[in-house]
Amino acid sequence: MSAVYRVDLDAFARNLRRVREAVAPAAHMLVVKDDAYAHGLEAVVRRAWDEGVRWFGAFDVVTGAAVRAVAGPDARIFVWLIDGSDDLAAGVAADLDLGIGDEALLEDLAGLSAGRPARIHLKIDTGLHRNGIRPERWDAALSRTAELVDGGRAMFEGVWSHISEASDADDDDARALFLEARAAAREAGLVARFSHLAASAAGFARGEFREDLVRVGAFSYGIRPAGGPGEAELGIEPIACLAATVTTIDPRGVHLDVGSLHGLPSTLAGRFDVVTPEGPRRVEQIGATSCVLAPWNDAAVGDEIIVFGRGGFFSATDLAELIDTIGEEIALRVSPSIPRSYRS
Ligand SMILES: *Cc1c(COP(=O)(O)O)cnc(C)c1O
């Protein structure tokens, strides 16, 4: 295997500064789910902490605990997939900020043997129906939460939701529900220290969605939205490239040992160019474990090729657009079997 997924941590740091400036005065919660969008959790969290990021969005408790191990005791680490009582207990033990989108978890919390109070952020379902407390159950959830707070079992840290960012009108409707839910919480004596509902797109484009925290994943890694504004307009840059060296040259062309099993969708064959020492060359075939490039004079085994991403002709989102998907999908497909390397 000659391929490597090369992550430029200085470029990442520039994106972090850009995100911070774009969402200010809200704070940036760096979303690091899916192994930091496949860039490698540990290196990403370590650099982000050094750059002043203090909130991390970790998805599940296991990932949250991994972030805790890297970022130390002062990081705030938000998780929103909590699978029952044991998982909840582990989240409390790791001092995570727990996104509660299911009333059953409030009962689980009541049943935990007393330890430190859990930091909780109640999630109102504002229309995505992924998880979240339905508006008609919100008051009941608030009463239960108030009991847990009074009993010293929970600290009420936030109200949150997740929006589709598919259309401004849908997002506006979601925000109206969100604001109502927050007002109801306040009336119930539960004052959210942190409100949050936006991710990359709304966090950049729509000031009224920023609230206290903006949960930004994609843009932090320089992944622009498919069909949306470009990197230059957003002020971000791709931070990673897939690089590989030429393994063989034969009459069919120049071969690399990356293929669909490593994350290069075979439907991209014939549709994009890579960087070679002689300039752009088309990827003509994509097999399971190798691909074939159009030849060039003096091609040599060991020549370095930038397949996509930073320094390449196509970004993850450029490739995604060719096959009607999103940049995250291309980034997340880069196989864990390809080693990550870090430059800074
Ligand atoms: C993935 C995710 C985000 C980050 O979304 P991006 O578009 O990558 O910024 C934010 N919040 C939640 C709940 C998520 O699942």
- pLDDT confidence of residue 223: 98
Sorting pLDDT into bands at 50, 70 and 90, what band is 166? confident
Instruction: Give the end-to-end CA distance of the chain in Å, rounded to a whole number.
Output: 24
pLDDT in tens, 61-76: 999 999 999 999 999 9
What average pLDDT does this structure show over 184-199? 97
- 37 Cα nearest atom in ligand 1: 8
Written out in words, the top-level CATH class of the domain with range 240-343 is mainly beta
| Confidence at 195, pLDDT banded by 50, 70, 90 | very high
Closest approach atom of ligand 1 to CA 29: 10
Side-chain-side CA neighbours of residue 210 (13 Å) = 16
State pTM to two decimals: 0.97
Q: Is the CB of 12 under 6 A from ligand 1?
A: no
Distance CA(35)–CA(230), nearest Å, equals 25
| SS3 assignment, position 75 | coil
Residue nearest to atom 4 of ligand 1 (CA): 217
Contact by Cβ (8 Å): 120, 109: yes
Question: What's at 147, amino acid-wise?
Answer: E
The tokens of 242 are what?
Answer: 């897939």
For range 110-129, the mean pLDDT: 92
In the predicted structure, residue 250 carries a pLDDT above the cut 80:
yes
Return the higher-pLDDT residue of 113 and 48: 48
**Which of 16, 23, 29, 31 gets mutated to test ligand 1 (max ligand atoms within 8 A of its CB)?**
31
99 Cβ inside 6 Å of ligand 1: no
Are 36 and 67 a contacting pair, CB within 8 Å?
A: no
Q: Percent of the chain at pLDDT above 90?
A: 95
- The whole-number pLDDT of residue 300 equals 97
- Pick from 165, 215, 178: which is nearest to 30 by CA? 215
Please identify, by atom number, the ligand 1 atom nearest to the C-alpha of residue 328.
8
pLDDT digits (tens, 9 = 90+) for 204-228: 999 999 999 999 999 999 999 999 9
CATH level 2 (architecture), domain 9-234? Alpha-Beta Barrel (3.20)
pLDDT at 130 over 90: no
CA 150, chain centre distance (Å) = 34
* Gap from CA of 201 to ligand 1 centroid (Å): 10
Give pLDDT, residue 37: 98
Question: What's the pLDDT band for 40 if we cut at 50, 70, 90?
Answer: very high
Each domain of the chain, given as residue ranges in start order, spans 9-234, 240-343
Q: Ligand 1: which of 80, 131, 215, 216 to mutate, judged by most atoms within 8 Å of the beta carbon?
A: 215
Percentage of the chain modeled with pLDDT above 70 = 100
As a whole number, the mean pLDDT across the chain is: 96
pLDDT over 90 (residue 131): no
